[in-house]
């Protein structure tokens, strides 16, 4: 049964990955917006923001990486919505394949596409002067956190991908996620924010993830932030997965 599921998922993932490679503009678009934001913040606003001895590109890169993931998963919702509307789901249901493999194919494709986008954004940051004191273990920890975050948001994207009534609606869910890092410690220290905004910024998931990744990049202790980060990512993942499965069952019922 497991081998059947894995082989079906692999075959279906190959199909969705071919769609991505035939439409590279999706990855380019995913990368262009975060890179444009990075260029603007570093070269336009960076000189006016006090981050101590830390170069501003180092300070704000974790937030840009979160924006990259949020932008990327919107295309997961779009691809899933397109499959639903084209009737391909019904055709798959009539075939002797694992039903859950259809969803997992989109999820795996999202992980691969977002990984490529994240590597490209980090590459641009290096050209802009980003440098890290992180060792191999810290880089692996950063990769693990970003992959877990991507997995959580991908399952969140599955819900509108299955239930939206229009292609615009399928991708619109990502807009609040893209802008969430702006009200966090991603671009300015939260201590500079007014009271209510500061409270929200310090207690929302983007801040803990950004602070953890920033500390790992700098080779500094992460403290309790890493546990808060993992709790946020795991919590979002579990809730999103449950609702995504429910939406899928309603769709194929």
Q: What is the pLDDT of residues 131-175, one digit of tens each?
A: 998 899 999 999 999 999 999 999 999 888 888 777 777 777 778
User: Is residue 237 a contact partner of residue 155, using CB atoms and an 8 Å limit?
Assistant: yes
Q: Which residues have CB under 8 Å from 68's CB, separation 6+?
A: 30, 31, 34, 114, 117, 118, 121
Provide the residue range defining the domain that includes 102. 2-252
- Looking at per-residue pLDDT, the higher value among 94 and 32 belongs to 32
Most confident of 12-21, 42-51, 97-106, 173-182: 173-182
Tokens of 48: 């006016």
pLDDT at 24: 63
Does 86 score more than 90 pLDDT? no
The whole-angstrom separation of Cα 7 and Cα 49 is 51
Does 98 score more than 60 pLDDT? no
Confidence band for 6, pLDDT divided at 50, 70 and 90: low
Phi/psi of residue 137, nearest 5 degrees: -65, -40
Helix, coil or strand: residue 55:
coil
- Looking at per-residue pLDDT, the higher value among 245 and 96 belongs to 245
Q: What's the total number of domains in the chain? A: 1
Does 114 score more than 80 pLDDT? yes
- Give CA torsion, residues 167, 158, 116, 215, to 10 deg: 120
Q: Distance from first CA to last CA of the chain, Å, rounded?
A: 22
Q: Classify residue 234 by its DSSP letter.
A: H
Phi/psi of residue 211, nearest 5 degrees: -60, -40
pLDDT at 107: 85
Confidence (pTM): 0.89
pLDDT at 252: 67
Does 115 score more than 70 pLDDT? yes
User: Is residue 206 a contact partner of residue 66, using CB atoms and an 8 Å limit?
Assistant: yes
Confidence band for 88, pLDDT divided at 50, 70 and 90: low
Does 78 score more than 70 pLDDT? yes
Does 25 score more than 70 pLDDT? no
Q: Which residues have CB under 8 Å from 188's CB, separation 6+?
A: 49
How much of the chain, in percent, has pLDDT values that exceed 90?
35
User: Is residue 110 a contact partner of residue 157, using CB atoms and an 8 Å limit?
Assistant: yes
The whole-angstrom separation of Cα 76 and Cα 102 is 13
Q: What is the pLDDT of residues 186-245, one digit of tens each?
A: 898 888 889 899 999 999 999 999 999 999 999 898 888 899 999 999 999 999 999 998
Does 23 score more than 90 pLDDT? no
User: Is residue 107 a contact partner of residue 162, using CB atoms and an 8 Å limit?
Assistant: no
The whole-angstrom separation of Cα 161 and Cα 223 is 37
Q: What is the pLDDT of residues 225-234, one digit of tens each?
A: 899 999 999 9
Does 116 score more than 60 pLDDT? yes
The whole-angstrom separation of Cα 196 and Cα 73 is 29
């Amino acid at each position: 049964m497991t081998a059947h599921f894995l082989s079906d998922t692999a075959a279906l993932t190959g199909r969705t990955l071919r769609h991505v490679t035939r439409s590279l503009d999706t990855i380019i678009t995913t990368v262009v917006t975060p890179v444009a934001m990075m260029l603007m913040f570093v070269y336009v606003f960076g000189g006016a923001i006090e981050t101590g001895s830390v170069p501003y590109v180092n300070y704000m890169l974790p937030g840009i990486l979160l924006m990259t993931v949020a932008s990327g998963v919107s295309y997961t919702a779009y691809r899933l919505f397109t499959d639903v509307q084209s009737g391909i789901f019904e055709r798959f249901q009539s075939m002797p394949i694992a039903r859950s493999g259809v969803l997992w194919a989109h999820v795996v494709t999202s992980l691969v596409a977002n990984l490529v986008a994240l590597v490209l954004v980090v590459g641009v940051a290096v050209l802009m002067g980003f440098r890290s004191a992180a060792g191999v273990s810290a880089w692996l920890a950063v990769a693990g956190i970003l992959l877990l975050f991507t997995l959580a948001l991908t399952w969140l994207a599955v819900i509108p991908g299955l239930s939206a009534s229009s292609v615009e609606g399928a991708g619109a869910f990502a807009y609040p996620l893209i802008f969430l890092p702006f009200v966090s410690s991603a671009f300015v220290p939260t201590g500079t924010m007014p009271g209510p905004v500061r409270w929200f910024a310090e207690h929302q998931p983007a801040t803990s993830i950004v602070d953890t990744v920033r500390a790992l990049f700098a080779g500094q202790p992460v403290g309790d932030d890493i546990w808060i980060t993992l709790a946020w990512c795991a919590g979002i993942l579990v809730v999103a997965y449950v609702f995504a499965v429910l939406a899928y069952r309603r769709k194929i019922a």
